[in-house]
Structure 1
Amino acid sequence: MCRKARNAVETGTYHIIMRGSSEITLFKSDTDKDRFLNTIKKYQTTFRFKVLAYCIMSTHVHLLIASNGANLSKFMHGINLSYAIYYNKTYKRHGHVFSDRFKSKIVQSEPALKFVSAYIHNNPKDISGYKNKVEDYKYSSLGIYLGIHEDVLNIVDSSIILNYYDTNKIIARKNYFTFVKARQALKDSLSNTEQICDSLNNVYDEYNTLLLEIKNFELNKDHWQYTSGKSETTKRVKPEDIISFICNNTNINNYDLQIKYRRNTTEFRAFSVFLMRSFCDINFKNISSLLGGISVSALCNLCNKGYELIKSNSYYTNILTKFLKEYPA
């Protein structure tokens, strides 16, 4: 039987849940959890999505992600596969690590974002020692929201949700924490949170329909438009633009990029593949046809190499900065 197509929109925000296979503990140690966070950071750098909240438990993970124009299924598949390979290698096992494909639910409105983030941040309440101290749990973003823990990897964008509570950061943190604790007292369940989210999303849809009707009557919609404070990035760069940019800003040409085994152009190919995966809505098969038929596994390695070049080599960091100026989000 075919699986139901995932409900997704280009610039949507999603509550994502990933559960481990029934016979394993998905995260056996802090090292596993740290590895998962580093994997998220790696794919976030490539696909430029925003993480609004997270909580990593021993058997499952909750994420609140704004796709920011990226393909949700593509980067989540990469995160899951990368962690599964690490897990099986570390614990010398074979087979599935996750119980099924990840679950995702669209979160459309400001109130829904508040409820879902509070539910995620209250997840540690059932762990011994954290019932009344969920903010102390190391692998939840709540501590980052409240300034208790440092966001070492710079993964979380807490400003979007905190700005709903006050423009003053100290007051916003206090008000948000009060809301989180209030939801904990009400003992929110996942199903209850999803029902609330669905109701709020329906209100949001009805409101947008009303706005459309107002526009059709040629009234000034700008005075009525709901704005969330979120800025979205839509990928509009063509792969040909990236090849042209690389050629114009380096000492190589298009022909050099197409030659598979020329060592002095490997880094430029890696950088090109990374840019295409980050800014173009294409897969490795499409990229292969543009770069002389390179295999998918080789393209994966090149993309990883491109990521490392930007992290460690100022030459490529400067070229990326120039690219972002020429093709602003």
Structure 2
Amino acid sequence: MPRMAREKSYDSIYHIMVKSISEVNLFKDDEDKINYLNYMKKAQEQFEFIVYAYCLMDNHAHFIIDANGADISKIMHFINYKYAMCFNKRHKRHGHLFQDRFKSKIVKSERYLFALTAYVHFNATAIKGYEDHPEEYSFSSLAIYLGLKKDNFDLIDDVFVLSMFGLNDVSARVQYRDFIFKVKKFIDIQKEEFSNEPTEYRSMRKILVRDFSPEKIILIIMQKFNINKYALFKYRRDGVEAKALICFILRKLCDLKCADICKLLGNIGQARVSRLCSIGAELVRNKKYECIINEILQQAL
């Protein structure tokens, strides 16, 4: 039986759930959970999506993700593929790890979004020892919202949700705490979760546009490095850095797959493109290239 087409919108917020196959836990220990969140951060650097909330359980995990103009399927494939490879190597196993595709539901309103953060955060109450204190669970974003801990993975944007509870940071966190502990008693989101209802929520968020010309971006970077296309493929430091930035920025701003970039650049494999994307992500954190994306955005418009 063919799979149903996934309801998608490039400027929507999604409730995402990933689950392992029945015979193995998705996370065997804390290190596995740390690895998953680290891969999510790498994906965030690549695709520039926004994470509003998360909670990792033993055999599944929940996330609220703002695609921010990217393809949610590409985002989750990147994370889950990298994690499954790491998990299998670490635990010396083979075969599938995830149960089918990830599940997704488009968030349809602010009211639903607020209640959804409560539902995601309160998943931790199913864990022994956290029934009455879900904010103490390390692999949930609740403590970040309540101002009880820093975001060690630098993943969460809590400002968007908290801004709806007030402009003062301290009072907004207090009001959010009151809200989720009250709403927990009255809502049952799980009944309608992951239905096929084609709904979506856009709000007033600014979405990163990703329809720039790949050829124009390649040209801008070659001009910045003062190299031609022939020199781009010679093995020299500035050539490697230029290629890495091209691969990274084409993924970020043009929403291209590694296979698409291979066709554009020629004489390069997907594994090499993936590696160059990782190098590019490191380069843009360097002071030398920290402004390059804004420069390209200005020139490519």
User: TM class, shorter-chain normalised?
Assistant: over 0.9
Of residues 266, 281, 288 in structure 2, which corresponds to 1:292? Answer: 266
Q: CA deviation at 1:194?
A: 5.9
Distance 1:177 1:192, change over 3 A: farther
Higher deviation after alignment, 185-194 or 5-14? 185-194
8 Å CA contact 1:11–1:234 kept in 2: the answer is no
Q: Given the alignment of the two structures, is residue 13 of structure 1 paired with residue 13 of structure 2, yes or no?
A: yes
Q: For each residue in 1:106-131, what CA deviation from the matched residue of structure 2 results, as whole angstroms up to 9, or x when unmatched?
A: 00211111111110011001111211
Q: State the SS of the aligned residue for 2:32.
A: helix
Higher deviation after alignment, 184-193 or 266-275? 184-193
Q: Residues of 1 paired with 2:109 and 2:188: CA distance?
A: 19
Q: State the SS of the aligned residue for 2:226.
A: coil
8 Å CA contact 2:14–2:65 kept in 1: the answer is yes
Q: Given the alignment of the two structures, is residue 255 of structure 1 paired with residue 230 of structure 2, yes or no?
A: yes
Q: In structure 2, what is the equivalent of residue 54 of structure 1? A: 54
Q: CA deviation at 1:247?
A: 1.4
Q: CA deviation at 1:324?
A: 4.6
8 Å CA contact 1:160–1:230 kept in 2: the answer is no
8 Å CA contact 1:116–1:193 kept in 2: the answer is no
Q: Residues of 2 paired with 1:150 and 1:327: CA distance?
A: 36
Q: In structure 2, what is the equivalent of residue 208 of structure 1? A: none
Q: Residues of 2 paired with 1:229 and 1:173: CA distance?
A: 22
Letter in 1 for 2:241: E
Q: For each residue in 1:13-35, what CA deviation from the matched residue of structure 2 results, as whole angstroms up to 9, or x when unmatched?
A: 10000001111111111111111
Q: Residues of 2 paired with 1:17 and 1:234: CA distance?
A: 26
Higher deviation after alignment, 289-298 or 124-133? 289-298
Q: CA deviation at 1:285?
A: 2.1
Identity %: 39
Q: In structure 2, what is the equivalent of residue 138 of structure 1? A: 138
Q: Residues of 2 paired with 1:109 and 1:267: CA distance?
A: 43
Q: In structure 2, what is the equivalent of residue 2 of structure 1? A: 2
Q: CA deviation at 1:318?
A: 4.1
Q: For each residue in 1:48-81, what CA deviation from the matched residue of structure 2 results, as whole angstroms up to 9, or x when unmatched?
A: 1000111111111100001000011111100000
Q: CA deviation at 1:238?
A: 1.3
Q: Residues of 2 paired with 1:250 and 1:177: CA distance?
A: 51
Q: Residues of 2 paired with 1:267 and 1:130: CA distance?
A: 47
Q: Residues of 1 paired with 2:47 and 2:208: CA distance?
A: 10
Q: In structure 2, what is the equivalent of residue 78 of structure 1? A: 78
Of residues 199, 206, 218 in structure 2, which corresponds to 1:243? Answer: 218
8 Å CA contact 1:40–1:79 kept in 2: the answer is yes
Q: In structure 2, what is the equivalent of residue 234 of structure 1? A: 209
Letter in 1 for 2:287: S
Q: In structure 2, what is the equivalent of residue 119 of structure 1? A: 119
CA RMSD of aligned residues (A): 2.2
Q: In structure 1, what is the equivalent of residue 87 of structure 2? A: 87
Q: CA deviation at 1:228?
A: 3.1
Q: Residues of 2 paired with 1:179 and 1:28: CA distance?
A: 33
8 Å CA contact 1:119–1:183 kept in 2: the answer is no
> TM-score normalized by structure 2?
0.92
Larger Rg: 1
8 Å CA contact 2:217–2:300 kept in 1: the answer is no
Higher deviation after alignment, 127-136 or 41-50? 127-136
Unaligned runs of at least 5 residues, structure 2? none
Distance 1:114 1:133, change over 3 A: same
Q: Residues of 2 paired with 1:270 and 1:9: CA distance?
A: 29
Q: CA deviation at 1:187?
A: 6.6
Q: Which protein is richer in helix relative to its size?
A: 1
Letter in 2 for 1:289: K
8 Å CA contact 2:17–2:61 kept in 1: the answer is yes
8 Å CA contact 2:16–2:103 kept in 1: the answer is yes
Of residues 275, 278, 292 in structure 2, which corresponds to 1:319? Answer: 292
Q: Residues of 2 paired with 1:34 and 1:326: CA distance?
A: 38
Q: In structure 2, what is the equivalent of residue 34 of structure 1? A: 34
Q: CA deviation at 1:246?
A: 0.5
Of residues 248, 271, 276 in structure 2, which corresponds to 1:302? Answer: 276
Q: CA deviation at 1:319?
A: 2.9
8 Å CA contact 2:116–2:189 kept in 1: the answer is no
> TM-score normalized by structure 1?
0.85
Q: Given the alignment of the two structures, is residue 167 of structure 1 paired with residue 167 of structure 2, yes or no?
A: yes
Q: Residues of 2 paired with 1:111 and 1:140: CA distance?
A: 21
Q: For each residue in 1:208-230, what CA deviation from the matched residue of structure 2 results, as whole angstroms up to 9, or x when unmatched?
A: xxxxxxxxxxxxxxxxxxx8342
Q: State the SS of the aligned residue for 2:104.
A: strand
Q: State the SS of the aligned residue for 2:36.
A: helix
Q: Given the alignment of the two structures, is residue 182 of structure 1 paired with residue 157 of structure 2, yes or no?
A: no
Q: State the SS of the aligned residue for 1:287.
A: helix
Q: Residues of 2 paired with 1:137 and 1:326: CA distance?
A: 45
Q: Residues of 1 paired with 2:115 and 2:290: CA distance?
A: 38
